């Protein structure tokens, strides 16, 4: 069974790039372009991991991670936050969230996959298998 990963970013090219990288190792990828829709989707699919941009309109990645943590259905889902290079999250920023890792943009595909594997284990499906892409408008 493939890992289920929810990618949340308001930049379409970022969600497309992450989806491509993750699908190549057999992950099932779902995408959303904003935090509220991502939280609703996460409740429905209960992903193994959420990868979210820190800066998004309406709801930041940390606010989204806090909301996921407060919902019993998604409380244990780890979150990897993508940040602008040089931006650091303080302990107060991550308090009450499921944020387990931060990754600065730009990042290498190898670095991303290594972080994902550290957080949720190795890909469980065969390389090259494609996942499902459900986009939230």
In this structure, the number of other CB atoms found within 10 A of the CB of residue 16 comes to 14
d(CA 59, CA 119): 24
| CATH fold label, 4-120 | Rossmann fold (3.40.50)
Tens-level pLDDT at each residue, the chain (137 residues): 899 999 999 999 999 999 999 999 999 999 999 999 999 999 999 999 999 999 898 899 999 999 999 999 999 999 999 988 667 777 777 888 889 999 998 899 999 999 999 999 998 754 444 444 433 32
| Tokens 């302990």, located at residue | 91
Domain ranges of the chain: 4-120
Q: Which residues pair with 82 in a beta bridge?
A: 53, 103
d(CA 6, CA 103): 16
């Amino acid at each position: 069974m493939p890992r289920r990963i929810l990618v949340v970013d308001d930049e379409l090219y970022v969600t497309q790039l992450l989806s491509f990288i993750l699908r190549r190792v057999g992950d099932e990828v779902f995408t959303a372009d904003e935090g509220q829709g991502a939280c609703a989707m996460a409740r429905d699919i209960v992903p193994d991991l959420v990868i979210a941009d820190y800066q998004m309109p309406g709801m930041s990645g940390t606010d989204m991670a806090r909301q996921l943590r407060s919902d019993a259905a998604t409380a244990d889902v780890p979150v990897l936050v993508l940040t602008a290079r040089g931006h650091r999250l303080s302990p107060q920023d991550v308090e009450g969230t499921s944020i387990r890792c931060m990754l600065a943009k730009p990042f290498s595909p190898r670095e991303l996959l290594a972080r994902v594997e550290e957080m949720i284990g190795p890909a469980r499906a065969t390389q090259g298998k494609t996942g499902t892409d459900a986009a939230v408008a």
